Amino acid sequence: MTTTTVLPQWETTPDDLPAAIREIKSALRARIAESGRTVDEVFAVVEARVRAAVEEIEAASSRGETVWPVIEYADIEAGRVTAAELEKLRRRGCLVVRGHFPREQALAWDAEIVRYVEDNQFFENYRGPGDDFFGSVGSKPEIYPIYWSAAQMEARQSDRMATVQGFLNSLWRSSSDGVEWFDPSRDSLYPDRIRRRPPGANSAGLGTHLDPGTLDLWMTSAYQQAFRHLFDGTPEEYDPWDAAHRTAGSQYPGSTMCSVFRTFQGWTALSDMDHDQGVLHTVPIPEAMAYLMLRPLLDDVPDDDMCGVTVNQVFPATAQWHSLLLRAVSGIPDVRAGDSVWWHCDMIHGVDPVQDQQGWGNVMYIPAAPWCPRNEAYAESVRAAFESGSSPSDFPAEHYERAWPDRFQVTQLNENGMRGLGLG
Ligand SMILES: [Fe+2]
């Protein structure tokens, strides 16, 4: 009988991070070795797969092809997405939905947001950035910590949003082993902010990173189960589209955390944006997560280092440890107001710098966050924030909208909105 190394677990942030990192790395190495393969051999399997994907993307890009999949909303709604489109979507793990909303609708929402913040003297009262992650330009922010405008809520609870979210959720395996990990047909209306970046803006962009977690990805029992195939030497079995053990476990708190499980991160464009105006880029390879999770176990990484990952900061993807992956960084194509942009929740992404931006760069952040135990728990605090006009608990406690009379009201919720907030 073989003994299996039991992985140490920390359900809350360890007090001594370097010690915990040393301990988990040593246990993971021992556990992988029990498979009969070395850590180097297991990593080589992952690296070969990812390298093939990187080279395929480089080749497509050099042929002038659009790396990002693009699908018309009308095709999603009518169930006309082809097998070839679906295959590319799974392979790349990101998507532009063309015409998700009529362009006039998106432009009207953008104008409504401007009216909403101006009528409520937002700029006069703006106190500066409430967190250390997004900066501001002058006195007017680019990221508006605004959550409860009619425009945002109408988009979140719209049938068109539900249709796309359901389509994207269906790419995942949502039930296995007799457990329904999430309900693909019900979204939890995760409230997030707005970005409005004006013409002429200079922006340093945002470095490549990922958002699903930090050290908890290696250290909590739920994530250890979610990544079990990476940690037991069977990376061939790892499926980036399997939601098992991802929708109920604990997470380490931090200023950049997202409390909910998202199948995809996303935003809806409220202005036209050209591909070279400081837009979103990703490493469009869902399997890259396997590389990111195993890379720290190689011998060239110091024993108390997880390739730079620590708590309270986003998970960085850097040239020092992930140069192979960064070769595949691919930007979105030109988008128009009303298009939406989506990327797998584990995907490396960043925002390009821009000088003297041409045109506006306006988006509403709306992800696909399907109903599951984790999202149901967060929905309770969202409901309270919605009712009082407060900032949701994942975000700095700025609470600009509490006294704004024209924020979206409970009576304006439709069925999607009621279900999303756990009221229906
Ligand atoms: Fe991010």
Map residue 224 onto helix, strand or coil: helix
Q: What's the 83 CA to ligand 1 centre distance in angstroms?
A: 29
Q: Please report which confidence band the pLDDT of residue 1 belongs to, taking 50, 70 and 90 as the band edges.
A: very low
Contact 315, 214 (CB under 8 A): yes
Q: What's the 3 CA to ligand 1 centre distance in angstroms?
A: 40
pLDDT tens, position by position, 15-72: 999 999 999 999 999 999 999 999 999 999 999 999 999 999 999 999 999 999 999 9
Q: Please report which confidence band the pLDDT of residue 128 belongs to, taking 50, 70 and 90 as the band edges.
A: confident
Q: What's the 33 CA to ligand 1 centre distance in angstroms?
A: 34
In eight-state DSSP terms, residue 413 is -
Q: What's the 255 CA to ligand 1 centre distance in angstroms?
A: 12
User: Which phi and psi (to 5°) does residue 420 adopt?
Assistant: -65, -30
- According to the model, what pLDDT value does residue 136 have? 47
Q: What's the 350 CA to ligand 1 centre distance in angstroms?
A: 7
Q: What is the C-alpha separation between 269 and 251, in angstroms, rounded?
A: 30
Q: What's the 115 CA to ligand 1 centre distance in angstroms?
A: 28
Of the candidates 273, 271, 335, the one whose C-alpha atom is nearest the C-alpha of residue 105 is: 271
Q: What's the 405 CA to ligand 1 centre distance in angstroms?
A: 32
Contact 135, 143 (CB under 8 A): no
Tokens read off for 136: 């501001």
Q: What's the 62 CA to ligand 1 centre distance in angstroms?
A: 27
- According to the model, what pLDDT value does residue 234 have? 97
Q: What's the 23 CA to ligand 1 centre distance in angstroms?
A: 28
Q: What's the 143 CA to ligand 1 centre distance in angstroms?
A: 13
Q: Average pLDDT of 276-280?
A: 96
Q: What's the 165 CA to ligand 1 centre distance in angstroms?
A: 19
pLDDT tens, position by position, 320-354: 999 999 999 999 999 999 999 999 999 999 999 99
Q: What's the 190 CA to ligand 1 centre distance in angstroms?
A: 15
Q: What is the C-alpha separation between 210 and 281, in angstroms, rounded?
A: 12
Encoded amino acid at 22, one letter: R
Q: What's the 408 CA to ligand 1 centre distance in angstroms?
A: 27
Helix, strand, coil tally for the chain in percent (to 5) = 35, 15, 50
Q: What's the 308 CA to ligand 1 centre distance in angstroms?
A: 16
Q: What's the 210 CA to ligand 1 centre distance in angstroms?
A: 6
Q: What's the 347 CA to ligand 1 centre distance in angstroms?
A: 9
Q: What is the C-alpha separation between 387 and 385, in angstroms, rounded?
A: 6
> What element of type H or E holds 162?
helix 159-169
Q: What's the 41 CA to ligand 1 centre distance in angstroms?
A: 31
The reported pTM is 0.96
Of the candidates 393, 173, 134, the one whose C-alpha atom is nearest the C-alpha of residue 263 is: 173
Q: What is the C-alpha separation between 392 and 147, in angstroms, rounded?
A: 8
Spatial strand order in the sheet of 264-269 = 70-72, 94-98, 340-344, 264-269, 361-365, 194-197, 143-144
Q: What's the 209 CA to ligand 1 centre distance in angstroms?
A: 6
Tokens read off for 130: 């409430």
CA–CA distances in Å: residue 58 to residues 47, 86, 284, 291, 332 = 16, 21, 11, 18, 15
pLDDT tens, position by position, 145-165: 999 999 999 999 999 999 999
